[in-house]
A and B are shown apart, each in its own frame.
Chain A
């Protein structure tokens, strides 16, 4: 032993003395043996004592894990009416583990199911091939079964081992095409989305619109049940269950009534409507037509229906309020007028004689009114949408100033609505030389720009924001679609108080003049007289935009615009209507806007009585 026993064993044991290091090694060996023995005991417990129980769990038809899908959160309009709801729907599913192990027998079952339900056999095989044959989680084959289908499957149950009918909550819409672009559709997670690892196969995921934007809130947490079933697949006993947690409720800014009226007004037409509250940027309605049958997209859509929509030359999936760019036509004259007045290059008393034609070098630009408007001042120019007046005004103001103010009004940049691929629009800007003169820019381009033609492109949402800015004194609001998101147990989990993205620095005099002119458009024999409602002061601007491709064809190919707000004194609502190929803004778009104003301001009381 070492002196005092303080040294370690590293000198080696003294010959003929006991070896303490050896004792310790043996102690370690004993500890490891005890650990191994514990493991053997646990094995004994699992395999012999509990073995029977696990044997059952392992056997095919005994225990089934049945996921209980959590209902998606409900989207409400600003008055508490549901925009989309859930209803129970039947889903046909396969449980891979309960299908026959023998591929031939399995294919017999799948073949039987295919002919019974009119599902392509290859689709069923694909569905099974995508998952492990040991999986006990159901593979959804078809959603939204009819009662007849359910009866058929139940009747053939014994011949269809591994085939079950589940009840799942499914999206239900007020009508087939209701707010299709706004809400967006919900479908099973695609292979692409599964790669991200956030979803499990068969999860329902919002694919477009608000459903996609708010998916993480709307998705609940699925629950599950372990049930014991007999050979017939009937439940014997509930082993254990976890409650599903439904998704959060979303309170949007949309007014369902306005949305419905706007959609109805656009029936059979292609185009877009945006209804906005100029006081806070709330979007009351957002319509894009042609629309698609949102309820048919929900769940599992069959290939052909999908292809039909995808290949439709009218692009029904396109949300025309933000994803499509149009020449603004005469609506853009507001920008030219504002720029001229604010920069001082234009005064309300400037007069131009309009004989229906305007000459620039060898070029002739025509007014929409062949015989001309006679002597025109700025207010009359806006009221009657005199093109010749604005050709002159545009040259006076100059392209750089027009572009500057167009950008100030929020054109040429996304509105920031955070809603699917928004298009920025386009405001052409002349490159400036060192002397401050435009380079490689033809005066004709300025002339075209003055009436919102040429390269100028805008989205209906941008036009709505511009009108809101004129109405509210120059504030550019970020369009708001969602007020708040609530969870039943937690209260408000997300809120948006609205945000200002910019100011248009126009003097109050300029704004007052613009509002006065816009009022005259509707109420003083201007181009927007079709929107007039006695008892309501509506201010608006018509636009008839020629499209480049169609400039030589008939007038019916022009886009009809009408952008308006009301009441003039204290504006509450902005309405922008665009009808593709609608012809004159005054005759096509203005009456639609009138209908919407009428609903908002004169059916309010009746509605409140009904809704209250």
Chain B
């Protein structure tokens, strides 16, 4: 255990923490207003409790040297895979999806926790091969790291989380110095595989894409969400309707929300850029890429830029697993920042 020495404390990234705190406050407020008129006011309180738990997790993660965590990453990763298999076998099914494991009274969504294990694993994988050129060989060797869990997660089914793994992998490869020509080839291959992917989608997933392309296809049925979301945002105009005046939904703080996220993400990249220590940089890039993808996908979806995919918005969406994991991700970033001047 690394002692908490003064130099570490001096280097805590307060803007990063501040942005997070603001997000959590927005989340709690939104959830509280969602509760208006419904039975039980516990949702917002529970979210705050998760935040508290997340804060503890953050402190624990930040106080450990991230290099130690990377060193034991394979252990995390394999355990994570095992748990995903366990979900597959004995998970709890909620509205058709088998994503949760019951541990005593609480149910945990292991695919959330797995995201961090995955980031650490890829960092470990790349940093143990630092003397090799980052080319096709490394790419081919790294691909199964994402593919195996992705298949397990797709089967839950949770397409959103599974797809999340790939941008993170690519970001890490880029930061590790992969040649851009290889990357371009990868993108072309991905495009070529798109028709196959379309066939593999479930009916409801295809519906979402079709409805995205043409919301008037079925205005009362499948497109209802998409249209209503647009009305909700559009009718708020610049100043918003506020919490009490909300009609369509209660997502009332979109501009504020975007500002907080922009701050958070750019801060993450700043940490990555200003760290000269390669493992720390990779950890920062991985974590920031993870959070960025989730935020971008989520917000784009809400404003109707991409089809609907179900992934949680870090710090905002209601759910304990997501909150704790997001806080741990933040802990990793802080950890890198605190130790970059050592």
Q: Tell me if A26 and B237 are in contact (CB < 8 A).
A: no
CB of A65 within 8 Å of the partner chain: yes
CB of B266 within 8 Å of the partner chain: yes
Chain B's closest residue to A50 (CB) is B234
Stretch at the interface among B16-24, B79-87, B99-107, B275-283: B275-283
Chain A's closest residue to B303 (CB) is A42
CB of A33 within 8 Å of the partner chain: yes
CB of A556 within 8 Å of the partner chain: no
> Could you mark each residue 126-164 of chain A with 1 if its beta carbon is under 8 Å from any beta carbon of chain B, else 0?
000000011001000000000000000000000000000
A209-232 interface (Cβ within 8 A of B) = 222, 224, 226
CB of A29 within 8 Å of the partner chain: yes
Chain A's closest residue to B126 (CB) is A10
State A5–B176 Cα separation when bound (angstroms).
13
Q: Tell me if A12 and B234 are in contact (CB < 8 A).
A: no
Q: Which residues of B contact A222 (CB under 8 A)?
A: 220
CB of B155 within 8 Å of the partner chain: no
Q: Which residues of A contact B282 (CB under 8 A)?
A: 10
Q: Tell me if A240 and B177 are in contact (CB < 8 A).
A: no
CB of B285 to closest CB in A, whole Å: 6
Contacts A8-B130, A11-B131, A12-B278; A54 near B231 (Cβ below 8 A): yes
State A32–B247 Cα separation when bound (angstroms).
31
Interface size classification for chain A: 35 or more
State A341–B127 Cα separation when bound (angstroms).
94
CB of A51 within 8 Å of the partner chain: yes
Q: Which residues of B contact A29 (CB under 8 A)?
A: 265-266, 269-270, 273
State A28–B291 Cα separation when bound (angstroms).
13
Chain A's closest residue to B302 (CB) is A39
Q: Tell me if A8 and B176 are in contact (CB < 8 A).
A: yes
Contacts A20-B177, A46-B230, A47-B237; A7 near B273 (Cβ below 8 A): no
Q: Tell me if B273 and A10 are in contact (CB < 8 A).
A: no
Q: Tell me if A10 and B234 are in contact (CB < 8 A).
A: no
Q: Is the interface of B mostly helix, strand, loop or mixed?
A: helix
Q: Tell me if B177 and A21 are in contact (CB < 8 A).
A: yes
CB of B261 within 8 Å of the partner chain: yes
CB of A36 to closest CB in B, whole Å: 5
CB of A195 within 8 Å of the partner chain: no
> Could you mark each residue 174-187 of chain B with 1 if its beta carbon is under 8 Å from any beta carbon of chain A, else 0?
11111000000000
Q: Tell me if B219 and A226 are in contact (CB < 8 A).
A: yes
Q: Tell me if B269 and A54 are in contact (CB < 8 A).
A: no
A49-78 interface (Cβ within 8 A of B) = 50-51, 53-55, 57-59, 65, 67
> Could you mark each residue 116-129 of chain B with 1 if its beta carbon is under 8 Å from any beta carbon of chain A, else 0?
00000000001101
> Could you mark each residue 238-265 of chain B with 1 if its beta carbon is under 8 Å from any beta carbon of chain A, else 0?
1000000001100000110010011001
Contacts A10-B177, A13-B276, A25-B269; A42 near B216 (Cβ below 8 A): no
Q: Tell me if B235 and A28 are in contact (CB < 8 A).
A: no
Number of residue pairs spanning A and B whose beta carbons lie under 8 angstroms apart: 152
CB of B93 to closest CB in A, whole Å: 15
CB of B255 to closest CB in A, whole Å: 7
Chain A's closest residue to B268 (CB) is A29
Q: Which residues of A contact B233 (CB under 8 A)?
A: 43, 46-47, 54
Contacts A9-B278, A29-B273, A40-B258; A54 near B220 (Cβ below 8 A): no
Q: Which residues of B contact A48 (CB under 8 A)?
A: 237-238
CB of A198 within 8 Å of the partner chain: no
CB of A516 within 8 Å of the partner chain: no
State A226–B130 Cα separation when bound (angstroms).
62
Q: Tell me if A39 and B296 are in contact (CB < 8 A).
A: yes
Chain A's closest residue to B273 (CB) is A25
Interface centre among A29, A32, A47, A51 (most CB of B within 10 A): A32
State A25–B266 Cα separation when bound (angstroms).
11
Q: Which residues of A contact B171 (CB under 8 A)?
A: 28
The one of A10, A36, A43, A57 that contacts B278, using a Cβ cutoff of 8 Å: A10
CB of A453 to closest CB in B, whole Å: 54
The one of A22, A38, A58 that contacts B235, using a Cβ cutoff of 8 Å: A58
Q: Tell me if A10 and B236 are in contact (CB < 8 A).
A: no
Q: Which residues of A contact B175 (CB under 8 A)?
A: 9, 21, 24-25, 28
Q: Tell me if A43 and B237 are in contact (CB < 8 A).
A: no
CB of A414 to closest CB in B, whole Å: 34
CB of A19 within 8 Å of the partner chain: yes
CB of B272 within 8 Å of the partner chain: yes
CB of A35 within 8 Å of the partner chain: yes
CB of B37 to closest CB in A, whole Å: 8
B114-162 interface (Cβ within 8 A of A) = 126-127, 129-135, 138
CB of A242 within 8 Å of the partner chain: yes
Q: Tell me if B235 and A51 are in contact (CB < 8 A).
A: yes
CB of A434 within 8 Å of the partner chain: no
Q: Which residues of B contact A42 (CB under 8 A)?
A: 300, 303-305
Q: Tell me if B238 and A19 are in contact (CB < 8 A).
A: no
Chain B's closest residue to A222 (CB) is B220
B291-307 interface (Cβ within 8 A of A) = 292, 296, 299-300, 303-305
CB of B328 within 8 Å of the partner chain: no
Contacts A8-B133, A10-B176, A22-B273; A224 near B220 (Cβ below 8 A): yes
Q: Which residues of B contact A57 (CB under 8 A)?
A: 231, 234-235
Q: Tell me if B266 and A10 are in contact (CB < 8 A).
A: no
State A327–B303 Cα separation when bound (angstroms).
70
Q: Which residues of A contact B277 (CB under 8 A)?
A: 12
CB of A20 to closest CB in B, whole Å: 7
CB of B289 within 8 Å of the partner chain: yes
Q: Which residues of A contact B176 (CB under 8 A)?
A: 8-10, 21
CB of A569 within 8 Å of the partner chain: no
Chain A's closest residue to B267 (CB) is A29
CB of A552 within 8 Å of the partner chain: no
State A325–B235 Cα separation when bound (angstroms).
64
Q: Tell me if B219 and A65 are in contact (CB < 8 A).
A: yes
Q: Tell me if A35 and B296 are in contact (CB < 8 A).
A: yes
Chain A's closest residue to B176 (CB) is A8
Q: Which residues of B contact A32 (CB under 8 A)?
A: 265-266, 269, 292, 296
CB of A240 to closest CB in B, whole Å: 6
Contacts A10-B126, A32-B296, A65-B219; A54 near B305 (Cβ below 8 A): no
Query: 11 A-B residue contacts at CB 8 Å?
Result: A7-B134, A10-B278, A29-B265, A32-B269, A39-B299, A42-B305, A48-B238, A51-B236, A54-B231, A55-B235, A242-B219
Which 4 pairs show the lowest CB-CB distances between chains A and B? A54-B234, A8-B177, A58-B235, A10-B130
Known: A9-B176, A9-B177, A24-B177. 7 other contacts (CB 8 A): A8-B132, A12-B278, A21-B175, A28-B171, A43-B254, A48-B238, A58-B235
